[in-house]
Amino acid sequence: MTGNESDQSFIIEVNGLTKRYGQLLAVDGISFKVRRGEFFGFLGPNGAGKTTTVRMLTGVIKADAGNALIMGFGSGSLKAKQITGVIPETANAYGDLSASGNMMLMAKLYGVPSTEAKKRSNDYLHALGLWERSGSLVRTYSKGMKQRLVLAMALISDPEVLFLDEPTSGLDVQSARLMKDLLRDLNARGKTLFLTTHNMDEASQLCDRVAIINKGKIVAIDSPERLRMAISGRNCIEVSFSDSVNPDALMQLHGVNTVEKVGDRYRLYTDSPSELVTTLADYSCTAGVKIVSLNMLAPSLEDAFVALTENEDEHA
Amino acid sequence: MPDASMVWQQVRRSLAIARKDIRIYYSKGPVVIFGILFPVFLFLAFTIGRHLTVDFMIPGFMGMVLFFTATSISPIVVPWEAQARTLERLMSCPVWFETIIMGDILASFVFGIAISLVPIIIGLAMGVTISSPFIFAIAVILAAFCFAALGNIFSIPPTNLPATVNMIAAVVKFPVVFISGIFIPLNELPAWGQAIAYISPLTYFTDMARHSIQSEGHLPVYVDLLALFVFTVLFLTVALVLHRRTMPKRI
C-alpha cells in the first residue's frame, strides 16, 4: 500500500497487530489510529507490550499477525523508516563516537545532505545543551546528556513521526524538563509524537490522547481528561476535621463508596460529590466536629489507569 | 524490486556503517597490534628451525595475516552492537539488513587489506619479488573479502556474548590454518591431506600467492581464483540470508 491509498488524516494506522514470544502473547491484536500532528500517549505497566509495539511500528521486529502503516507505508519498509525518528528507552548512541560523530552517522544513514546535516546537528546540539561537549566521546556523557543526544539524533532527518519509548525515564528534573519542552515545541510545529510511558503526569501534561495497554491488549483510548472523567466513583472529597472521627461513621454517610485515611485527612470516594458536601456539613453539625478543610479532588489519570488495568485483570 | 538508485543509496549507507566500524572497532592500537603480532608469532612457532625459503614462507605468512585479521573483529561486531543496543538503532534506520551486514564485512575487508601490507613490506624488504603483481593483488582482494564474509558468519548464532562467538570462531579458524598448506606444501601432503586442504579457502589464496611469488603453485591459477570466488559468494550468501533470520532475535 502506498501513502496515497491511506486515509491522509491518520499518520499511524494499526490493525490487529500481534506478537508472540514462545508461549507469551506480548501484543494481542491491537488496533488504533493516530492523527497527523497528534501527541499520542501509549500507557501501560511494565511488561504490558509497549516496547514490543514500538519495535513493530519502527520495523525493528516483525509482527506475527496484523499490520501497521506509517503515512500509508508498511511499518518496517524503507519509506516508513525514512519518515520516522526513534528514541528508545535505553540511550543507544555510539559511546566511542562524539556527539557530532553520532549525528553525522545518523545523517548519512538517513541520506541527509552533508551541509544540511551539519546545520541541523549544530542547531539541535545547541538547543539540547550539548554543543560545548559535542566533540567529547559520548561514553563520557551523563545519562541525561546521552538521552538528549539520542533525541537530537532522531531529529536530524526531520522526521514526520517520532517514536519515544520512555524518553524521560531516569532523567534528572532539568534534563526531563528540557526534553519535554522540546517535544511540546516539535508537536506545535506539526510533528506527530508517539510516546510510551508509565509516567501518568507526563502523559497528562503532554498528550492529546492516550491508549492504555495492559497484558498486550488496549483497554481504553481517549483524551486524558475524558479518561479521568470516565472513572465513575473515583471522584473524591478530601476532608479534615477539628477532632478525630470514626472512619466507619464516614463510611455510613450517604453516597460514600470508599474511605481512605491520608495523614490527618480523609478521602471519601463518591459518585455524587456535590451531594456529599451537603451530607458532610450535616455530619459536622450532628457529630459536633468542625470541618477544617474540604477539597474536591478530580480523579487523576493515574486513578483512571489503575481502575482500567485492574478491571482488565479482574476480567482476565 | 529495488531500483538502481535505491541500491546505490543502500551502498552509500553501507559504506557509512563500514566507516563507523573502522573508527569504533578497528582503529584501536591493541586491535592493530594484535592483528599483526598474533599471526607473526603463530607463524614463527611453526617455521623456526625448519629450513624454509623466504619465497615459501611469505605467501603462507601473508595468508595467515590476512585470514586472522579479516576474521578477527567481524565476528564480534554484531554481538557487541546488540549488547550496546546500537544494533536496534541501526535496525530502525532506513537500511536493509543486508546493508548492515555488508557494512560490517566491508570494514573487516579494509582492515584485512591494510594489515596485509605488513607482510608484503617485510617480504619485499627480505628480497622477495612478486612476479605476477596483478594476480597477487586479485588474490589479496578476493581473499580479504572471502575471509571477512566468513568472519561475519561466526556471529550468526543469536547470542550477544562476544566470548561465545569468539569460541565458535576459534574452533573453525585454527583447523582451517593447519589444513591449508601454509606450513607444508600441498605437493608434499598425502592424497587425503590434499582432499582436506581443498575444503579451506585459505588453501587457494596461499596457492595463488605462491604462483605470484614463487611462480609455482599446486593448482592452476584459474582454479584457485574460481574456488576463492565460489567460497566468497557462498559465505556472503550464508551471512546475508542467516543474519536476516537471526538479527531480530538479538533485540
CA A64, A68, A69: angle at the middle one, nearest 5?
150
- Grid coordinates belonging to A280: 458532610
The gap between the terminal CA atoms of chain B, to the nearest Å, is: 28
B249 in reach of chain A (CB within 8 A): no
A289: left (phi over 0), alpha (psi -120 to 50) or beta: beta
Q: What is the pLDDT of residues B202-219, one digit of tens each?
A: 999 999 999 998 888 889
B194 in reach of chain A (CB within 8 A): no
Query: Considering only alpha carbons, which residue of chain A is nearest residue B80?
Result: A94
Q: What is the pTM of this model?
A: 0.84
- How many whole angstroms separate alpha carbon A53 and alpha carbon A66? 12
All residues at 6 or more sequence positions from B234 whose CB lies less than 8 Å from its CB, including other chains: none
| Facing residue for A78 by CB, picked from B12, B24, B94 | B94
Does residue A92 lie in a domain region?
Answer: no
- Grid coordinates belonging to A187: 508537536
Query: Considering only alpha carbons, which residue of chain B is nearest residue A52?
Result: B251
CB B207 within 8 A of CB B143: no
Does residue A66 lie in a domain region?
Answer: no
- Grid coordinates belonging to A59: 520495523
Whole domain around residue A282: which residue ranges? 232-298
B16: closest CA of chain A, how far (Å): 6
| Facing residue for B24 by CB, picked from A58, A97, A109 | A97
B contacts of A112 (beta carbons < 8 Å): none
Contact B248 A60 (CB under 8 A): yes
Q: What is the pLDDT of residues A281-295, one digit of tens each?
A: 999 999 999 999 998
- How many whole angstroms separate alpha carbon A243 and alpha carbon B196? 95
- What single letter denotes the amino acid at residue A282? D
B7 in reach of chain A (CB within 8 A): no
Which residue, among A200, A184, A205, A215, has the nearest Cα to A304 in the 3D structure?
A200
Does residue A144 lie in a domain region?
Answer: no
Mean pLDDT, range B9-32, rounded to an integer: 91
Contact B89 A81 (CB under 8 A): no
- How many whole angstroms separate alpha carbon A114 and alpha carbon A102? 13
Contact B20 A97 (CB under 8 A): yes
For residue A27, what is the enclosing H or E element?
A: strand A24-35
B contacts of A62 (beta carbons < 8 Å): 248
Does residue A251 lie in a domain region?
Answer: yes
How many Cα atoms are found within 13 Å in the side-chain-facing hemisphere of A35?
Answer: 13
Backbone φ and ψ for A130, nearest 5 degrees, come out as -115, 0
CA B44, B50, B54: angle at the middle one, nearest 5?
70
B contacts of A75 (beta carbons < 8 Å): none
- How many whole angstroms separate alpha carbon B129 and alpha carbon B145? 24
pLDDT category of residue B56 using cuts at 50, 70 and 90: confident
Is pLDDT at B29 greater than 90 in this prediction?
no
A contacts of B20 (beta carbons < 8 Å): 94, 97, 105
Does residue A152 lie in a domain region?
Answer: no
pLDDT at A77: 95
pLDDT at A3: 46
CB A107 within 8 A of CB A121: yes
CB A267 within 8 A of CB A259: yes
- How many whole angstroms separate alpha carbon A208 and alpha carbon A214? 20
Q: Which site among A21, A60, A102, A158 would you substitute to test the B interface, given the most B Cβ atoms closer than 10 Å to its Cβ?
A: A60
Which residue, among A12, A6, A72, A7, has the nearest Cα to A211 in the 3D structure?
A12
Query: Considering only alpha carbons, which residue of chain B is nearest residue A109?
Result: B13
β-bridge mates for residue A10, sequence order: A35
- The Cα diameter of chain A in Å comes to 78
The percentage of chain B sitting over the pLDDT mark of 70, rounded to a whole number, equals: 100
A272: closest CA of chain B, how far (Å): 49
| Facing residue for A110 by CB, picked from B94, B248, B251 | B94
Q: What is the pLDDT of residues B169-189, one digit of tens each?
A: 888 888 888 888 887 888 888
The residues of chain A scoring below 50 in pLDDT are 1-5
| Facing residue for A105 by CB, picked from B20, B85, B88 | B20
Contacts of A16-20 spanning 24+ positions with Cβ under 8 A: A16/A65, A16/A66, A16/A67, A17/A53, A17/A56, A17/A63, A17/A65, A17/A66, A17/A67, A17/A68, A18/A63, A18/A64, A18/A65, A18/A66, A19/A49, A19/A52, A19/A53, A19/A56, A19/A61, A19/A63, A19/A64, A20/A64
pLDDT at A1: 44
For residue B164, what is the enclosing H or E element?
A: helix B162-178
Does residue A102 lie in a domain region?
Answer: no
| Facing residue for A94 by CB, picked from B20, B94, B251 | B20
- Grid coordinates belonging to B101: 551486514
| Facing residue for B251 by CB, picked from A55, A78, A106 | A55
CA-to-CA dists, residue B201 to A166, A191, B165, B190, angstroms: 48, 53, 21, 19
CA-to-CA dists, residue B4 to A76, B7, B8, B11, angstroms: 20, 5, 6, 10
CB B207 within 8 A of CB B218: yes
Contact B13 A88 (CB under 8 A): no
| Neighbour count for residue A140 (Cβ, 10 Å) | 10
User: Is the torsion defined by CA of A91, A93, A98, A101 positive or negative?
Assistant: negative
pLDDT at A313: 60
Which residue, among A128, A90, A300, A111, has the nearest Cα to A205 in the 3D structure?
A300
| Total structural domains within chain A | 1
Query: Considering only alpha carbons, which residue of chain A is nearest residue B24?
Result: A96
B91: closest CA of chain A, how far (Å): 5
Q: What is the pLDDT of residues A246-276, one digit of tens each?
A: 889 999 999 898 898 888 899 998 888 888 9
Backbone φ and ψ for A136, nearest 5 degrees, come out as -80, 155
B24: closest CA of chain A, how far (Å): 6
How many Cα atoms are found within 13 Å in the side-chain-facing hemisphere of A163?
Answer: 27
| Neighbour count for residue B143 (Cβ, 10 Å) | 30
Interface A-B, measured as beta-carbon pairs within 8 A, has a size of 69
Domain boundaries, chain B: 4-250
pLDDT at A224: 85
- Grid coordinates belonging to A201: 503526569
- Say how far residue A274 (Cα) sits from the centre of its chain: 32
For residue A40, what is the enclosing H or E element?
A: strand A39-43
| Facing residue for A96 by CB, picked from B12, B24, B94 | B24
Which residue, among A261, A231, A272, A207, has the nearest Cα to A41 in the 3D structure?
A207
pLDDT at A29: 94
